[in-house]
Amino acid sequence: MSIADRYQAYADDFEKSYEDDDWTRIDPYFTESAVYEGMGDKAEGRAAVIAKLKGGVDGFDRNMDSRTPDFQQPTVEGSTLRMNWSVTYTKAGCPNLVISGNETAEFDGDHIALLRDELDPAAEAAMGEWMAEHGAKLQG
């Protein structure tokens, strides 16, 4: 299976886990010593990476009314995959929030050894402004 195919399977299973909150299905995609770097934080080890991913979903995405991801076609160089993405969030009484960035996945065989998410600078600024004005509406 190619890295692009393996990543797509991971992305599909991530979305299923988002829907049913069964995060064990993404365990097989990561090395035991996997690392996640994103949103200013770092998690080391498969269990910590999955907990970080779930925590991000629970702490932000699930507080929105809807979440619509848009993933661009990834590029692969050797064992590294890069993909640009955007997500549109809706929350009643608030303007839509669109954030975008890129994800890098470094593979060790069929497993992700490093997963890194970076927000685009403009998206980071827009998210900060949106949170300053509307973030209190996410608290319940």
pLDDT tens, position by position, 36-88: 998 778 999 999 999 999 999 998 999 999 999 999 999 999 999 999 999 99
Give the confidence band of 140 by pLDDT, cuts at 50, 70, 90. Answer: low
Phi, psi for residue 79 in degrees, rounded to 5: -100, 15
Alpha-carbon distances, residue 56 vs 4, 60, 99, 123, 140 (angstroms): 24, 6, 14, 17, 16
Count structural domains, the chain: 1
Distance between CA atoms of residues 28 and 43, nearest Å: 17
The enclosing domain of 131 has a CATH number of 3.10.450.50
Domain that holds residue 21: 3-138
Average pLDDT (103-109) is 97
Average pLDDT (117-121) is 93
Most distant CA atoms of the chain, gap in Å: 46
In what helix (H) or strand (E) does residue 78 lie, and over which residues does it extend?
Answer: none
State residue 77's pLDDT score: 97
3-state class percentages of the chain: helix first, strand second, coil last, to nearest 5 = 45, 40, 20
